[in-house]
């Protein structure tokens, strides 16, 4: 009964979203109106407080996941069966399959103008896989982030916990594994502790 009452109460509020009767009719599909570009969408989501919801590795609700996908870019992104470069340009395995070499873009800056680089990715991997986190990243089973080595501003070597497969497949798997890795600025080190 409470759900019916809530829906009844919300109905007049939702019907007032347009600025004219034409807008309301077009939203219902009653009018032959054409879609138009521009405008502002304002929406509200429930979720955790700012500490939980702004940490891409501690979302607590679907709204937090959606918000983080809008705020943070990822190293790679998957679409149509392909893994595409994002903030990273490549992830290649070493000849012996014991590590991978991650190359990151050099043309990216953080919101404060500081450059994005391999040190940020190393910090992120250590943060996301920390055993102090309640739910460490699934990458914990594959990589040894504590031993990741920054080779230069845009190159990071990350050891694997055990060598893996054939090189082309391994590189594809590595890029795919990192498709959900959203780098954080290494300047957060010390101010962001892993969420318990």
For residue range 112-149, what is the model confidence (pLDDT) as tens digits?
999 999 999 999 999 888 888 777 777 888 889 999 99
What are the extents of the domains in the chain?
A: 73-188
- Cα dihedral sign, 169-171-176-177: positive
Query: What is the pLDDT at residue 72?
Result: 87
Query: What is the pLDDT at residue 95?
Result: 83
pTM given for the model: 0.67
Write the CATH number of the domain with boundaries 73-188: 3.90.76.10
Whether the predicted pLDDT of 155 surpasses 90: yes
Whether the predicted pLDDT of 101 surpasses 60: yes
Token reading at 189:
């080190």
Mean of the per-residue pLDDT values for the chain?
74
> Which of 118-132, 144-158, 167-181 has the highest mean predicted lDDT (pLDDT)?
144-158
Query: What is the pLDDT at residue 128?
Result: 87
CA dihedral 57, 162, 76, 51 (to 10 degrees): 10
Query: What is the pLDDT at residue 121?
Result: 94
> Mean of the pLDDT values across residues 16-39?
58
Share of the chain above pLDDT 70, in %: 65
Token reading at 172:
């594809």
More confident residue, 170 or 106: 106
Rounded CA-CA distance 75/52 in Å is 21
């Amino acid at each position: 009964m409470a759900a019916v009452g809530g829906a009844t109460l919300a109905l007049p509020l939702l019907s007032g979203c347009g600025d004219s009767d034409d807008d309301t009719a077009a939203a219902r599909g009653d009018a032959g109106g054409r879609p138009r570009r521009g405008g502002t969408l304002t929406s509200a989501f429930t979720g955790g407080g700012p500490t939980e919801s702004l940490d891409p590795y501690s979302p607590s609700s679907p709204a937090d996941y959606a918000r983080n996908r809008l705020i943070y870019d990822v190293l790679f992104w998957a679409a149509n069966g392909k893994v595409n470069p994002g903030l990273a340009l490549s992830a290649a395995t070493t000849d012996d399959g014991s590590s991978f070499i991650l190359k990151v873009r050099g043309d990216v800056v953080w919101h404060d103008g500081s450059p994005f680089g391999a040190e940020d990715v190393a910090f992120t991997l250590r943060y996301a896989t920390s055993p102090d986190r309640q739910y460490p990243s699934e990458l914990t089973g594959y990589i040894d982030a504590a031993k990741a080595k920054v080779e230069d501003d845009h190159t990071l070597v990350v050891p694997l916990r055990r060598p893996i497969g054939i090189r082309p497949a391994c590189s594809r798997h590595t890029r795919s594994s990192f498709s959900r890795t959203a780098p954080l600025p290494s300047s957060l080190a010390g101010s962001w502790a892993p969420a318990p």
